[in-house]
Amino acid sequence: MKKTIFVVDDNLTNLAVAEKALEEQYLVITLSSAAKMFTALEKITPDLILLDITMPDTSGFEAIKRLKARDIYAEIPVIFLTGLTDAETEAAGIDLGAVDFIVKPFSEPVLLNRIKNHLQIDELIRERTGLLRKRTEQLILLQNSIVSTLADVVENRDSDTGGHIDRTAIYVKIFIEAMLERGLHKDELQSWNLESVVSSARLHDLGKISIPDSILNKPDKLTDQEFSIIKTHAAAGERIIDHMISQSGDGDFYGTQNISQVTIMNTGMVPDIHTD
């Protein structure tokens, strides 16, 4: 299938020349203004845009700003077609996100070669991005699996908590969503990986691994000394997670923010519900 090229220029001669040069290899859509380009974009997503800089109403510079401001258009490669040859114009265009400049009047071989090269580069980037996205998804699945396994180990040792760990993750999600809705601690929350925070909240009782079974599952009331030992599980959990992070060298993998969550959940700032 032929790749689609938008050619945007207010000069009809330039449009005709570009179309003649490209039509054998590409599906060419010629547009005489930026306004017509944006109308066409509502129905068609091109593989590349050739965009004139000096146009009435909306210049090429203004048009590329609008393109890059919208996620659905931002990744479309843009090559400027221009009669302007000064370094300042070229630098400004590159800063705005153009991948190249082609000076008018252009030769057919130059036009074809530049487009071919940039389409190949764009295809390679998209391929690598897809592989990276797939790898990231696999890592997230692995992270969630590790978190779930650790949480299950803890919960299986404590005969009284039954389902508490999963419910805690749900409660944390509800708390965070409510905070976001009310604009509480907005700047801090925006810096968090919220999916990781909710998932890793299941580790908030991880430190119970360090508590002896005789205390953790004691059927009778705990003595003051035993209760003091129970309360050490928050700090123990923090030490374990710190060690995990130092060994992996990747705090984000385990949700670094959740170290503070471990402490909060176990010091009473947020109720640690074991009677639900």
Residue where a domain stops, chosen among 106, 127, 156? 106
Residues 148 and 96 in one domain: no
Contacts of 58 (CB under 8 A, 6+ apart): 33, 34, 35
Which run of H or of E encompasses 127? Answer: helix 108-157
Q: What's the domain count of the chain? A: 2
DSSP states along 34-51:
HHHHHHHHTT---SEEEE
Tokens standing for 15?
């449009």
Residue where a domain stops, chosen among 56, 84, 106? 106
Q: For residues 193 and 108, what is the distance between their CA atoms, to the nearest angstrom? A: 49
Residues 144 and 247 in one domain: yes
- pLDDT for 36 equals 96
Task: Evaluate whether residue 11 is within a structural domain.
Answer: yes
- pLDDT for 242 equals 81
Task: Evaluate whether residue 111 is within a structural domain.
Answer: no
Contacts of 261 (CB under 8 A, 6+ apart): 172, 197, 200, 201, 204
Tally Cβ neighbours within 10 Å of residue 110: 12
Residues 153 and 257 in one domain: yes
Residues 85 and 170 in one domain: no
Tokens standing for 18?
């570009």
DSSP tally for the chain: helices H, then strands E: 14, 5
Task: Evaluate whether residue 263 is within a structural domain.
Answer: yes
Task: Evaluate whether residue 272 is within a structural domain.
Answer: no
Residues 153 and 226 in one domain: yes
**Cβ(251)–Cβ(141) below 8 Å:** no
Residues 261 and 147 in one domain: yes
Residues 142 and 260 in one domain: yes
- pLDDT for 264 equals 42
- pLDDT for 275 equals 37
Q: For residues 101 and 91, what is the distance between their CA atoms, to the nearest angstrom? A: 10
- pLDDT for 106 equals 78
**Cβ(201)–Cβ(261) below 8 Å:** yes
Q: For residues 158 and 213, what is the distance between their CA atoms, to the nearest angstrom? A: 8
* Proportion of the chain above pLDDT 70, given as a percent: 87
Q: For residues 61 and 53, what is the distance between their CA atoms, to the nearest angstrom? A: 6
E-assigned strand segments in the chain? 4-8, 27-31, 48-52, 78-82, 100-103
- pLDDT for 183 equals 85
Residues 93 and 31 in one domain: yes
pLDDT in tens, 15-25: 998 999 899 99
- pLDDT for 152 equals 73
pLDDT in tens, 92-108: 999 999 998 888 887 78
Residues 258 and 218 in one domain: yes
**Cβ(217)–Cβ(158) below 8 Å:** yes
Task: Evaluate whether residue 88 is within a structural domain.
Answer: yes
- pLDDT for 118 equals 85
Query: Please, what is the average pLDDT of the chain?
Result: 81
Residues 64 and 165 in one domain: no
* Amino acid of residue 272: D
- pLDDT for 74 equals 92
Residues 31 and 81 in one domain: yes
- What residue numbers bound the domain in which 159 lies? 137-267
- pLDDT for 259 equals 43
- pLDDT for 162 equals 56
Tally Cβ neighbours within 10 Å of residue 70: 10
Task: Evaluate whether residue 276 is within a structural domain.
Answer: no
CATH number of the domain at 41, please. 3.40.50.2300
- Could you say which residues of the chain have pLDDT below 70? 157-162, 248-276
